[in-house]
Amino acid sequence: MQLFDSLYAAVARGRRRWYESNPARRRVLERPVVSVGSLSAGGSGKTPVAAYVARLLRDAGERPAILSRGYARRAPSDGVTVVRDFAEVRADVEQAGDEPMMLARVLEGVAVVVDADRYLAGRLAEGRLGATVHLLDDGFQHLQLARDIDLLVMDASELDGVATFPSGRLREPVAAATRADALLLSGASEEDEDAKASSIGIRLGVPQVFEFTRRLGPAVGVEPAGTVRIEGIRVLCVAGIAAPDRFFDAVRESGAVVAATRPFPDHHPFSGAEIHEMAEAATAAGAEVVLTTEKDLERMLPHRPFPFRLATVPLVIEMPDGDAFGAWLMGRLDAARHRRLEAARGESEG
């Protein structure tokens, strides 16, 4: 298996070198592009971080458009799908995919656009929706599209002993991190955190490091809506995400009594029979509430009404140096616009 890991890593390195050796191979959008991505296949928190960055850009007066490939869509349409414009949601989970749909529901004032060709998605967002900046979700390996700012989301556990595909979960060797403009790091040691984060940045060759933490927010009921108290309450946990055990552990840490769990593969399309089985499992475990993630909820909603009390627990991103990160990001965005303006003037004068 190590041989296959080495071959995969060599191909990944070669692919990146091919694009970087000739910038003309990348397509360029008119508006600046901020990429949020990771080295690993899942579980690093890149989607909630993308939501955090989108809110930051929106609150700074931008009109951000999230460009997503819409992985695991069950009813993809020909051409670009506008999941959400700047006013309201325009698609459903079958057309959008679970992660774009989740982002569309929670991000008012942010456009969400889906297409396998994210250049075409960006062109539509610029021309039809009036986007001023693009946010490339899960974009670190999407080298076909030029980006102005590369944000790499990483957990400290990815640094040591983690292999590339097929035996590991890394899409590229850790050395690729040096291509990032900033590292958004979670999971650093609680002892001497600043020094640990700084040393990780130096080790990876990334000039900027910003730490963030992930925690579960208050549980939110689906039917009926409203805050749900889960401390001391017996619950059944359901998760079809990249790291379901991490979700189950976080629910335990929040004070709920996890009576039973039901893990599913990432992006799993729930069936009516599985919803019925969850109801039976909840009854057998004496669970008062079925808890799931916001992403899983999108794939459950077509089965309403539910035969149990369902609630979600959102993943909340907190960044201790959020003001510093925001200032850095907006400064880089201004610099990117200045470079584009100078390049356009050079072309017109030439």
Q: The whole model's pTM is what?
A: 0.93
What are the phi and psi torsion angles at 300 (to 5°)?
A: -95, -30
What is the C-alpha separation between 138 and 163, in angstroms, rounded?
Answer: 19
pLDDT computed for residue 224 by the predictor: 82
Q: Is domain 2-213+319-342 annotated with CATH 1.10.8?
A: no
Residue by residue, pLDDT tens for the chain (350 residues) are 678 888 999 999 999 999 999 999 999 999 999 999 999 887 678 899 999 999 999 999 999 999 999 988 888 888 999 999 999 999 999 999 999 999 999 999 999 999 999 999 999 999 999 999 999 999 999 999 999 999 999 988 777 767 888 888 889 999 999 999 999 999 875 545 555 787 888 889 998 999 999 999 999 999 888 999 999 999 999 999 988 999 999 999 999 999 999 999 999 999 999 999 999 999 999 999 999 999 999 999 999 999 999 999 999 999 999 999 999 999 999 999 999 888 888 777 76
Fold classification of 218-313 is Rossmann fold (3.40.50)
pLDDT computed for residue 189 by the predictor: 59
Look up tokens 């960055």; give the residue.
53
pLDDT computed for residue 187 by the predictor: 82
Kindly list the domain boundaries of the chain, sorted by start residue. 2-213+319-342, 218-313
What is the C-alpha separation between 12 and 176, in angstroms, rounded?
Answer: 9
pLDDT computed for residue 94 by the predictor: 93
pLDDT computed for residue 3 by the predictor: 82
